[in-house]
């Protein structure tokens, strides 16, 4: 039994197909055994302080302090400060409240 597929839209000027060579050589592969290297990393960071204590403050005075967040891992880290969890979030200003490290 012989089978074939017909092309419903034949090319108007078909060109003859080249005749196969008697001993076709295989095409060389750029790298027959490719090596894949990958690694994963946990998100790690370090804070220079875990507590900021302003002590007793007068209502008409401002107090500034700094806290640093360090990305100690190999992948980017985004942090955000959740002021809504504070009992008096309206008296504290944090800059920046969100940043990628």
Domain ranges of the chain: 39-101
**Position 1 confidence tier, pLDDT thresholds 50, 70, 90:** very low
At 92, give phi and psi (nearest 5°): -125, 130
- Check residue 5 and give its pLDDT: 46
Which residues does 48 contact at the CB level (< 8 Å), separation at least 6? 67, 68, 70
For range 64-86, the mean pLDDT: 89
**Position 26 confidence tier, pLDDT thresholds 50, 70, 90:** low
Summarised one tens digit per residue, pLDDT across range 8-17 is: 555 555 555 5
**Position 89 confidence tier, pLDDT thresholds 50, 70, 90:** confident
List b or e across 26-39, with b for residues whose CB sees 16 or more CB atoms inside 10 angstroms: eeeeeeeeeeeeee
């Amino acid at each position: 039994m012989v089978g074939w597929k017909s092309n419903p839209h034949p090319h108007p000027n078909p060109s003859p197909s080249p005749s196969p060579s008697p001993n076709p050589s295989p095409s060389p592969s750029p790298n027959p055994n490719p090596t894949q290297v990958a690694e994963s990393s946990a998100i790690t960071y370090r804070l220079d302080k875990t507590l900021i204590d302003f002590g007793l403050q007068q209502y008409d005075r401002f107090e500034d302090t700094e806290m640093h967040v360090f990305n100690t891992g190999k992948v980017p880290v985004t942090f955000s400060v959740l002021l809504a969890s504070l009992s008096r979030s309206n008296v504290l200003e944090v800059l920046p409240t969100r940043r990628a490290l």
